[in-house]
Amino acid sequence: MPKSFSALSSDIFGRRKAHDKAGQLEMRVHVFTSSCELFLMRATHSQTEIAQFAELFEHLSADIPLEVAAPLAERLVGHRSTPVSVIAALRQRGMISAEALIATSHRLPDEFVESLLVNPHGALAARLATRADLAEATIDRLGASADYAVQVALVQNHKLKLPGALIETLLAGAHRHQPLAAALVLHPDVKLDARLYLAYGREQRDAVILRALRRQMGTSAANAPRDALQQAKVQRLERQMIKRDLAAAVTTCAEILQLPIATLAPLMRDDESDGMVLALRAAGLERPGIVRVALSGPQRVAHDYSEIWRIARMADQIEEATAATLLHEITGTPSLATAPVAGEVTTMRRDLAALRPRMPERGLADQPLRRLFNRKAEG
């Protein structure tokens, strides 16, 4: 093994001159291969050696057959001392694929990165988003992609420090794409945020609700009365939910709250039922109506008394105004035109456990379900 690239550089230059005189492809291939192998034999090189190799490569590589260059190309782009000019030439001459370049190169040529950022979508842009050496401007442009797969790949790359402005932009659209929301939940730079509500587990959801209640604690204003037409809509919404006509119910609820159906539908279809409770409370249903809806719902909910009690307590704690405000935050909507004026907030529980099921000490057999309909749970 040679001790330095410089030690044999004069020999390679001599071979290059011989090639120049002979003009034979066989000699060119031999010199190209030997110079690349010689460069790859050492882990590091001096700046002089790197410059010499760059000059040799530029002179020798133009007519090298692809089958000769391809086996060396991936090794070269992965070598820490390979100059970026050589990496760019390998890509420009088709000696390495874009996928392999992104996956193995210790450094990406600026022009190659720029070519991907012109319209950052698809598998290549998503692969680029997984690299740990991206500049902040590149991160911003990938984050602005209209391709959710690119955004998800970027957020899942915890080696990157995401700018605060970009996190805010991603949070604003997270409710429209659950994989993005799930990725944001796991990112270390993203704090508790209501816009990630549907991607959260039970404990984090409880924290979001508790924070909303605390924020409105102490406000005191009467709820705006509903006219007969609005009240009829609320009653129609309850009937539709009990009949499990979810499509019609989402339409009615969206009409009451003046929200887009596409925005409201994920909450109404929430597997944990919490989103449904929030939407129904914001629309004006009281606890008895919400419990009736839960009892007529899927078996996993209707036949689970602990879940019914949890839903009842949640509906009992969250005032209509609080639910409307929280719904606004979760969906990222600018306003809820028909949201009632903030009402008197329910007395605060002292910990998150209050939002979870509390089973009566005497057992459900001694606690008729009509108590859920007829009076507030004891505080």
Q: Is the model's pLDDT at 51 over the cut of 50?
A: yes
The confidence score (pLDDT) of residue 246 equals: 92
What does the pLDDT read at residue 300? 77
Are the CB atoms for 105 and 113 separated by under 8 Å?
Answer: no
Which pLDDT belongs to residue 7?
A: 53
- Listed by start position, the domains of the chain span 6-106, 112-191, 228-374
DSSP 196: G
Angle (nearest 5°) at CA 227 between 279 and 332: 30
- Structure confidence at residue 113 as a pLDDT band (50, 70, 90): very high
For the chain, how many helices (H) and strands (E)? 22, 0
pLDDT confidence band for 55 (50 / 70 / 90): confident
Min mean pLDDT across 22-36, 43-57, 93-107 is at: 22-36
208 or 30, which is more confident? 208
Of 14 and 265, the structure prediction assigns the larger pLDDT to 265
Question: Helices 84-92 and 47-60 sit at what angle, rounded to 10 degrees?
Answer: 20
Helix, strand and coil percent figures for the chain, each rounded to 5: 65, 0, 35
- What is the reported pLDDT for 143? 95
> What is the band of 232 on the pLDDT scale with cuts at 50, 70, 90?
very high
Query: What is the reported pLDDT for 59?
Result: 81
When pLDDT is cut at 50, 70 and 90, the band that residue 65 belongs to is confident
What number is the average pLDDT over the span 79-103? 92
What's the confidence (pLDDT) of residue 150? 96
Q: Which residues contact 145 (CB under 8 A, 6 or more apart)?
A: 120, 121, 125, 151
Length of the chain, in residues? 379
Nearest to 330 by CA among 209, 184, 182: 209
Per-residue pLDDT band for 140 (boundaries 50, 70, 90) equals very high
For 295-315, how does the pLDDT look when each residue is reduced to its tens digit (9 = 90+)?
988 777 878 888 899 999 999
User: Is the pLDDT reported for residue 350 higher than 50?
Assistant: no
Question: How many whole angstroms separate alpha carbon 355 and alpha carbon 336?
Answer: 25
Q: Hunting for tokens 């001599």 — which residue is that?
A: 14
Residue 2 has pLDDT above 70, yes or no: no
Q: What is the pLDDT of residue 183?
A: 96
Q: Which residue has the higher pLDDT, 61 or 75?
A: 75
Mean pLDDT in residue range 223-243? 85
Residue pLDDT, tens place only, 155-187:
999 999 999 999 999 999 888 899 999 999 999
Determine whether 65 is exposed, middle or buried from the number of CB atoms within 10 Å of its CB (0-12, 13-18, 19+): exposed
Residue 151 confidence (pLDDT): 96
pLDDT of amino acid 19: 52
Q: What does 205-250 look like in DSSP terms, one character per residue?
A: HHHHHHHHHHHHTT---PPPPP-HHHHHHHHHHHHHHHTT-HHHHH
- List of residues 6+ apart from 72 with CB closer than 8 A: 33, 36, 37, 40
Please give the average per-residue pLDDT across 85-105, as a whole number.
91
The Cα–Cα gap between 321 and 285 comes to 12
